[in-house]
Structure formats: C-alpha cells, structure tokens
C-alpha cells in the first residue's frame, strides 16, 4: 500500500504543461540558412544581369515546391520562375534583367532565411543618339539600372534625367558637357563608361568679317577644353588656333579662303557653319 501511494504522489508531482508551452520548450522550427553566394562559380557578393548566381546553404528542401529565392524582392526561383538547380544545399539561378541590389532571401514553408546582401552591377549597352547638342535628350540603355534613379554624368558633368527604368533612362546633355564617357551611378556603384560626343555649337563670330589674318573669336559651347585633334576651318581651309577652351576659340582667318562658313570639328563631329565674310585689306 505504501508503494502504491508513493507512485501516486510521484505521478501527481509531474508538471503538466499546455501544448503551446511544450512546443515552445522544443524550440523554433529549423528554417533555411544561406552560407555564401557565388557568381559564375566564384564566391562574390556582386554580379551583372544574366550571370549565374549560386546560393549555398542548408534547409532548402530537395525540391522547390512552393519555396522561393528572391533578390531585393524580385524572384530568382519560384513564383513562376524556374531555377537552373534546386537542392537542399544549393540553388542556382540567373540574375534577371529586372534585378536590383539588395538582400538575397530563401523562403521555405513560409520561413525566411537569413539575408545576404548582393549588388547588381550597372551595365550600359548603348546611347541613342551617339552624339547630340547640349540641351538635347538622349536615351541610355543598359541592365541593372534599378527603378529608383541615380546619377548620370557626361564626361564628369552631372546631367538631369527625365525618365528612369531598369533597362533604360532618358537624360539631358548638360551645357558644359564635352566628348567622353557617359557613366551611370546607382546606389554608389558606377557603371562602365560608354563613349558620347557632344556636337559643337557656334553662337557668334567676332568680328564676322575681315581680311586674311584677322583674329576671330568663336563663341559657343562643347568645343572641348583642349584642342587635341579638333580644328577650325574657314570655307574648308584650316585656320591657325591661338587659344582653345570649351566655350571660346581664337583663330586667325586663313589666307586662300573665301567668304563662307566657319566650322568647328571636334572628334570628327562638325558644328553648323557660321558665315564669315572676307574683305580686301585697304592699303594706305
């Protein structure tokens, strides 16, 4: 009898917990974990659109099912996007052209993994047109531009932009722009540079007439800061240059040229002509 009551007392002393408490004591359910990222097989936290992004870790599941892998909220796998590979420890997917820099996250059975930051390189493909006057708009096409905007420079001169999408943007050639690369900067990341030539513009000649040898000041913009291979012609005859800046050039009207257009040529791009009239020098 004493033995019976001893067992009964011991049983009564065993604590009884509600089911929720028991689950809490068991700890949270294990979720997916990302250990590292690779781009085209090389460990890296940055890459360009179209590259293969490998996500290594554990707890991804043997098949994709209803799981997802995202980059800054954009599906890399799942939600209608088919991955190249999905296994319990590795996911391989292509970086889509809608991708932008942000966290990589794998979600399995509603449980999200840790976040690994990834940076999408901005790649410029082309600019249309390849040359334009200051103040005109051009379209810049590329990948990884994002949708939040950034900075556009024409050979270092900041430009205003009027439209921005992940694949293209529209920018206005700045007044002080000179021939050189266009660069787009998104979230601190610089793109490659693509060549662009500003079309030189002559606004005024001073004086507008004179005999051969007259010193003429050509005022305008987009001449370039140095002469380099650029030149000035009077009716097709090359003039001697005494000074050259982006907005002003001083030349001597060459002999052998007749009344006609003065043209500034920068990197093979010609300005519109401005009329200069040759006069006969008076003898005293």
At 79-131, the pLDDT tens digits run: 999 999 999 999 999 998 778 789 999 999 999 999 999 988 888 999 999 99
Contact 223, 264 (CB under 8 A): yes
User: Rounded to whole angstroms, what are the CA distances from 134 to 30, 110, 178?
Assistant: 59, 53, 9
Looking at CATH, the fold of the domain delimited by 33-120 is given as Immunoglobulin-like (2.60.40)
Superfamily of domain 201-278: Immunoglobulins (2.60.40.10)
Residue 222, Cβ density class (10 Å: 0-12 exposed, 13-18 middle, ≥19 buried): buried
Residue 17 above 70 pLDDT? no
Stated pTM of the model: 0.68
Q: CB neighbours (10 Å) of residue 51?
A: 17
Residue 51 above 80 pLDDT? yes
CATH 3.30.70.141, domain 123-198, yes or no: no
Report pLDDT digits (tens) over 123-173. 899 999 999 999 999 999 998 888 889 999 999 999 999 899 888 999 999
Q: Quick one: pLDDT band at residue 49, thresholds 50, 70, 90?
A: confident
Q: Quick one: pLDDT band at residue 238, thresholds 50, 70, 90?
A: very high
- C-alpha 39/C-alpha 210 separation (Å) is 66
- CATH 2.60.40.10 maps onto the chain at 33-120, 123-198, 201-278
Higher per-residue confidence, 75 vs 143: 75
């Amino acid at each position: 009898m004493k033995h019976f009551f001893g067992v009964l007392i011991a049983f009564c002393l065993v604590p009884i917990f509600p089911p929720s408490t028991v689950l809490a004591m068991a700890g949270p359910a294990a979720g997916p974990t990302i250990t590292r990222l690779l781009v085209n097989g090389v460990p890296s936290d940055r890459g360009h659109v179209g590259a293969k992004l490998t996500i290594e870790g554990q707890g991804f599941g043997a098949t994709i099912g209803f799981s997802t892998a995202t980059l800054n909220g954009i599906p890399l796998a799942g939600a209608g996007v088919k991955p190249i590979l999905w296994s319990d420890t590795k996911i391989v997917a292509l970086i889509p052209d809608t991708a932008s820099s942000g966290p990589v996250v794998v979600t399995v059975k509603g449980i999200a993994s840790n976040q690994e930051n990834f940076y999408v390189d901005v790649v410029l493909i082309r600019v249309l047109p390849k040359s334009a006057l200051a103040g005109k708009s051009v379209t810049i096409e590329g990948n990884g531009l994002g949708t939040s905007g950034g900075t556009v420079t024409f050979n270092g001169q900041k430009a205003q932009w009027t439209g921005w999408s992940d694949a293209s943007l529209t920018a206005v050639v700045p007044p002080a722009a000179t021939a050189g690369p266009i660069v787009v900067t998104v979230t601190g990341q610089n793109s490659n540079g693509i060549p662009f030539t500003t079309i030189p513009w002559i606004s005024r000649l001073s004086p507008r007439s004179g005999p051969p040898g007259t010193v003429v000041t050509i005022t305008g913009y987009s001449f370039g800061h140095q002469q380099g291979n650029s030149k000035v012609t009077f009716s097709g005859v090359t003039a001697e240059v005494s000074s050259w800046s982006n907005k002003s050039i001083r030349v001597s009207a060459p002999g052998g040229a007749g009344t006609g257009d003065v043209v500034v040529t920068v990197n093979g791009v010609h300005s519109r002509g401005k009329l200069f009239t040759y006069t006969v020098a008076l003898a005293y």
